[in-house]
Amino acid sequence: MIAFLTLLYCGLVWLIFIKLKLLPWNRGSQFGVVAIGISGIVALLVAMNLYQPYSKDVRVYDLVVEIVPRVTGRVIDVPVEGGAQVEKGAVLYRVDPRPFEYEVNRLRADLIEARANRELTKAEYERNQQARRTGAVSQSDVDAAQARYEALVGSVGSLEAQLDQAEWDLEEATVYAPSKGVVTNLTLRPGQVASKMVARPLMTFVSTEAPKLVATFPPNALRHIRVGDVAEIALDRHPGKILKARVATLVDISAEGQLAPSGDIPDWTEIAPTSRFAIRFELEEESSGFELPGGAGGAAAIYTEKGKPIRIVRKIVIRMSTWLNYFF
């Protein structure tokens, strides 16, 4: 950018002093041209960095979901293909459901029997209560009937909970895509055993529904940036194109400002690196049709409410950046 501004200024000087000869070209004018040029370019750079900050550290981020088995079993089907786009709800893989079906059927049968026994015991308990009023049975008989009834009530509740768990396990035998996205590095094949261990995901699912555009800026660039400010983005993926956007979120903290809970006293002997702060953008509707693959990089310019007259220079700079993407 400095080279561009210098060439622009030199062209203006040549036009005024050499081509059109509007002013004399002598030692005094030469000194003035150099002094004005240096001070003017420095002032312009400072103003642009403060009011129209620019970043070459733009990145597209996608959410990544590790697909971890919730049940243990043998994989019998993997209908998804690695790298292929899938819709939300598409089947990623299936575990053999038969063991879970057997457990559900067994628990349903046990629950039917337990509920029937509960009703019979309840009727017996109620009869003993009636008989106790006439003295036909002792209080110990009533208490024993009540204990059997309460035990069966607890047994029915336990079986209902076990059945809920078994039905949930049966549902989890088939795993679906959590959103629109792509499965990467797919090595899962039928015959492998899926084990419900958090440390052993079976596949990595990349959600492509809502990619996030994030750029990082130095601390001095954040002074005048506000949510809603207009921005322009030049992605390497789209040479010659400018994406219209707005500032959606300003993350006003960096990793260097974090103090995690610890039993150690912070060590301040090392000089911390210069922090950069993240800003997330939302594309305007006119730019929403652009493909945003995860990991794509580029440059971004933010136009704050201050220094509007010099926006044109920043707009020229970012357009030069996007045209250079054809070559680099």
pLDDT in tens, 290-316: 888 888 999 999 999 988 888 888 898
CA distances from 159 to 75, 125, 146, 153, 168 (A): 28, 22, 20, 10, 14
* Cα angle: 14, vertex 20, 25; to 5 degrees: 60
The string of pLDDT tens digits covering residues 7-26 is: 777 877 777 777 777 778 88
Q: Are residues 230 and 247 in the same domain?
A: yes
CATH number at residue 249: 2.40.30.170
The string of pLDDT tens digits covering residues 216-246 is: 998 888 888 999 999 999 999 899 999 999 9
Q: Are residues 88 and 178 in the same domain?
A: yes
Cα torsion 102, 104, 106, 111 to 10°: value is: 180
Q: Are residues 190 and 240 in the same domain?
A: no
Q: Are residues 175 and 103 in the same domain?
A: yes
The string of pLDDT tens digits covering residues 252-294 is: 887 777 777 888 877 777 766 678 899 999 999 888 888 888 8
CA 308: distance to chain centroid?
A: 33
Domain that holds residue 134: 64-206
Higher pLDDT: 271 or 327? It is 327
Residue 266, classed as helix, strand or coil, is coil
Number of domains in the chain: 3
* pLDDT (mean) for 128-139: 75
pLDDT for 287 equals 82
Residue that has been written with the tokens 């001095």 in this structure = 220
pLDDT for 272 equals 66
Residue that has been written with the tokens 């015991």 in this structure = 121
- Ramachandran quadrant class, 81 (left: phi over 0; alpha: psi -120 to 50; beta: rest): beta
Whether 304 is in a domain gets the answer: yes
Q: Are residues 185 and 281 in the same domain?
A: no
* pLDDT (mean) for 189-206: 88
Whether 198 is in a domain gets the answer: yes
Q: Are residues 249 and 287 in the same domain?
A: yes
Does the pLDDT of residue 2 top 80, yes or no?
no
pLDDT for 317 equals 87
Residue 277, classed as helix, strand or coil, is strand
Q: Are residues 321 and 230 in the same domain?
A: yes
Q: Are residues 122 and 212 in the same domain?
A: no
Whether 324 is in a domain gets the answer: yes
Does the pLDDT of residue 175 top 90, yes or no?
yes
Q: Are residues 109 and 163 in the same domain?
A: yes
Q: Are residues 180 and 225 in the same domain?
A: no
Does the pLDDT of residue 82 top 80, yes or no?
yes
CATH number at residue 166: 2.40.50.100
* pLDDT (mean) for 126-131: 77
When mean pLDDT is compared across 130-139, 151-160, 218-227, 250-259, the lowest value belongs to 130-139
Whether 267 is in a domain gets the answer: no
Higher pLDDT: 42 or 132? It is 42
* pLDDT (mean) for 38-62: 87
Q: Are residues 74 and 184 in the same domain?
A: yes
Whether 262 is in a domain gets the answer: no
Does the pLDDT of residue 92 top 90, yes or no?
yes
Does the pLDDT of residue 148 top 80, yes or no?
yes
Cα torsion 131, 135, 139, 144 to 10°: value is: -40
User: Do the beta carbons of residue 149 and residue 155 sit within 8 Å?
Assistant: no
Mean pLDDT computed over every residue of the chain: 87
CA distances from 223 to 12, 52, 230, 279, 306 (A): 33, 11, 15, 13, 11
Q: Are residues 16 and 125 in the same domain?
A: no
